[in-house]
Structure 1
Amino acid sequence: MLRALSTGAAGLYAQQLRLDTCASNLANINTSGYKRQEVSFADLLYQEMGREGIPAERQVLPGAPNPGPTPPEGSGVRVAAVTRDFRPGSLIRTGQPLDAAIQGGGFFRVRLPGGEYAYTRNGRFTVDSGGRLVTEQGYPLDPEIVLPDGYRSVTLHSDGRVTIINSDRQEEEAGRLTLYSFTNPAGLAARGENLYLATAASGGAVEFQPGNGGTGALIPGCLEASNSDLTVEMTALVEAQRAYQLSLRVVGTADEMWGMANNLRK
């Protein structure tokens, strides 16, 4: 009974994490540049029942002269890893001059308030009060791009150039967007706000110009949609709910059996 309780509890923990992951994917289905998470599982230890003193018949394999070992007893399931799926999402045309989607690999780099670098696939940029190109959260791009006072219009090009029409109606380059790639993007650590931090597992960031080095080209006036699929996530959510209910029933049944054993009278 104790083993049944621990097995059920292990299943509850694993399926709770899967439920949380599916809920996060569903909540961010309309978040630009979001990359869905996946949960993978692994078996806990197996033990041969006969060696533990548990009565069990030996397995008889077809064609085998002698019975095999007694069947193993599992200890439940554990979460092996929670990984990010960095496959690209579909493109959404917005027509906004400062929106940019990355077609291919690569990330934009931003500077956080503490001076730390973070990386994102969300290319929805705006201009702050100081003329800097910033993300939706207000984090400036790195390298920093500052638009001069009095500009009339701004244009983002597929090669990363940001040009303006100045007060003299002349075209002027204000800066250039740069992309960064990683040897192992799955090793990036999620920080929140659709941002990632480099880790030892991801490797260091390698700088490339858009369209070079396999990091992809920029598509102005577009955004990359989330790669979460509503049908897939809803199906996974239902599966996780049913598995959670089954694990909960295991715990409840073990509790009932334990109660019956405690109430036995001679």
Structure 2
Amino acid sequence: MKALHTAATGMKAQERNVEVISNNVANLRTTGYKRQRVDFQDLLYQNLRRMGTETSDAGTIVPTGVQIGSGVKVAATAHIMSQGSLEQTSNELDIAIRGEGFFQIELPDGTTAYTRDGSFELDADGTLVTVDGYQVLSGIEIPEDGQDITISSDGTVQIVDPDGAVVNLGQIELARFVNKSGLEAVGDNLFLETEASGAPQVDNPGNDGFGDVQQYFLEMANVDAVTEIADLISAQRAYEMNSKVIQAADEMYSTTSQLR
């Protein structure tokens, strides 16, 4: 009886769905986190009577046929790259992106990673780094005697030197991708380029469709708690219904085995 195995695929798929939802809820307050959504696909079909086949010498054909499906599978867990809400902070090195783009981060092995998490700090050399100490690709170093760090909406970084003069230190660039959902999440709020995402396009904030940056703000996760709870309830009910199908199939097996 195929129903037993078909319902099992449904339970497994909903188990994966709940795992993704739980990760979204766990990252409800993670800076720059992008929620995931599970995409399902049906499995192969068994053709008991193929549509379009001829049923007589006169050329009459089967209009619909008989197909029995074999269940469901998880096809993708796509990242939804919509804008998260901006939350104001008191840290002058907190930067949020409003619109398209990612900050570029240099990993210890020289690989470039990308993030929407703009909670930056300074290392001992005055270089802009992430909370894990990874350098932000900007080439900007803040002098030890620099004061009143200002980051404008186009990414320009300025300070006031001891003489009271405004000094321009450079500009923070952003990267964007044709298919940003094709980026690979690797943890630590970081994404890596893949063949699916395409090569990054790099430019200054505010140019040619790039978003601008907001100092003293951080982008929160784009997770809506109410939506996640509703999805969780739906997944739970779907799991229960598939378990009921397995119980019904088992009872039918039991009835068959008791025939004399």
The bucket for the TM-score relative to the shorter chain is 0.7 to 0.9
Structure 2 CA distance, aligned partners of 1:223 and 1:92?
Answer: 5
Output the CA distance in 1 between the equivalents of 2:28 and 2:226: 11
Which stretches of structure 1, 4 residues or longer, exceed 4 Å deviation after superposition? 48-51, 65-71, 255-262
Q: By how many angstroms is 1:5 displaced?
A: 2.6
Question: Which SS does the other structure have where 2:142 is aligned?
Answer: coil
Match of 2:229 in 1: 234
| CA distance 1:6–1:156, change in 2 (3 Å) | same
Quote the Cα distance in structure 2 between the aligned partners of 1:173 and 1:245: 61
1:79-107 superposed Cα distances (whole Å, 9 cap, x missing partner): 12221111112221224211111111011
Q: In structure 2, the residue corresponding to 1:38 is in which secondary structure?
A: strand
- Tell me the distance in 1 between the aligned counterparts of 2:158 and 2:169: 5
Q: Does 1:166 align with 2:165?
A: no
Query: Given the superposition, is the C-alpha separation of residues 257 and 117 from structure 1 closer, same or farther in structure 2, using an over 3 Å criterion?
Result: same
Distance in 2 (CA, whole Å) between partners of 1:98 and 1:4 is 58
Say which SS state the counterpart of residue 148 (structure 1) adopts. Answer: coil
Cα distance in 2, alignment partners of residues 213 and 151 from structure 1: 32
Amino acid in structure 1 at the alignment position of 2:165: Q
Secondary structure of 1:158 counterpart: coil
What's the CA shift for 1:209? Answer: 0.5
**Aligned residue in 1 for 2:56:** none
The one-letter amino acid of 1:182's match is F
Aligned partner (choices 149, 154, 175) of residue 149 of structure 2: 154
- Whichever residue aligns with residue 198 of structure 1, its letter is E
The worse-fitting range, judged by mean Cα deviation, of 84-93 and 163-172 is 163-172
Structure 1 residues 1-266: aligned runs within 5 Å: 1=1, 3-49=2-48, 71-258=66-253, 264=258
Task: Provide Cα deviations, 1:21-56, integer angstroms capped at 9, x if missing partner.
Answer: 1111111121122111111112112334568xxxxx
Aligned length: 251
Rate the CA distance shift 1:171–1:66 in 2: closer, same or farther, 3 A.
Answer: closer
Report the TM-score when normalising by structure 2.
Answer: 0.87
Q: Which runs of 5+ in 2 are unaligned?
A: 51-59
Q: What CA distance in whole angstroms lies between the structure 1 residues aligned with 2:124 and 2:246?
A: 58
Q: Could you say if the C-alpha distance between residues 98 and 5 of structure 1 is closer, same or farther in structure 2, counting changes exceeding 3 Å?
A: same
Q: Residue 241 of structure 1: SS of its match in structure 2?
A: helix
What is the root-mean-square deviation in Å for CA atoms of aligned residues? 2.3
The answer for unaligned runs of 5 or more in structure 1 is 52-64
Query: Could you say if the C-alpha distance between residues 261 and 126 of structure 1 is closer, same or farther in structure 2, counting changes exceeding 3 Å?
Result: same
- Letter in structure 1 aligned against 2:212: A
Q: 1:66 to 1:139 in 2, by over 3 A?
A: closer
